[in-house]
A and B are shown apart, each in its own frame.
Chain A
Amino acid sequence: MEAAPLVLVHGTEPGGVPLAGATAGPRTAGSSPGSDRRQAATAPAASPRSTAGRANRYRERVIDATLACLGELGLAATTVDDIARRAGCSRATVYRVFPGGRDAVLAAVVETEAARCMADVAVRMGAAATAQDVVVEGVVGACRWIAGNRALAKIMADEPGVVASWLAFEREGRLLGHAARWVAPFLGRWLAGRDALRVAEWAARLVFVYGLYGPATHDPTDERWVRHLVSTFVTPGIEMMRGSGELRPVVPGPAQAARTGGHSGQSGDSGHSGHSEQSGHSGHSGHSGHRETRNDRGHA
Chain B
Amino acid sequence: MERAERPVRERILEGTYACVARWGLGKTTVEDAAREAGVSRATLYRYFPGGRDELIDAVVLWQFLRFFSRLYEELHDAGSLPEVLERALVFARRALLEHEVLQRVLATEPEVLMPKLTTERERLVGMVSGFLLPYLAHHAVTDGVDVHEASDYLARMTLSLISAPGHWDLEDPAQVADLVRVHMLAGIAAS
Contacts and interface: CB of A to CB of B under 8 A. Distances in A.
Interface of A: 160-161, 163-165, 168-170, 172-173, 176-177, 180, 194, 197-198, 201-202, 205, 208-210, 213-215, 217, 229, 232-237, 239-241
Question: Which secondary structure dominates where chain B touches chain A?
Answer: helix
B166 A237 contact: no
Given A210-B156, A213-B121, A161 B150 contact: no
Interface residues of B, number: 33
B106 A235 contact: no
B118 A160 contact: yes
Contacts of A172: 160, 163-164
A197 B159 contact: no
Given A164-B118, A165-B114, A233-B150, A241 B167 contact: no
Interface stretch (B10-18, B62-70, B179-187): B179-187
A120 to B, nearest CB: 23
B125 interface: yes
Most buried by B among A172, A180, A233, A239: A233
Contacts, number: 92
Given A214-B121, A236-B187, A164 B150 contact: no
B182 A241 contact: yes
Interface of B: 106, 110-111, 114-115, 117-119, 121-122, 125, 144-145, 149-150, 152-153, 156-157, 159-161, 163-167, 181-183, 186-188
A177 B166 CA distance: 6
A169 B150 contact: no
Given A165-B111, A205-B157, A217 B118 contact: no
B167 A197 contact: yes
A176 B167 CA distance: 9
22 contacts: A160-B115, A161-B118, A164-B114, A164-B118, A165-B111, A165-B114, A169-B163, A172-B164, A173-B166, A177-B167, A201-B166, A201-B167, A202-B183, A205-B157, A209-B160, A213-B121, A232-B144, A232-B145, A232-B149, A233-B187, A235-B187, A237-B187
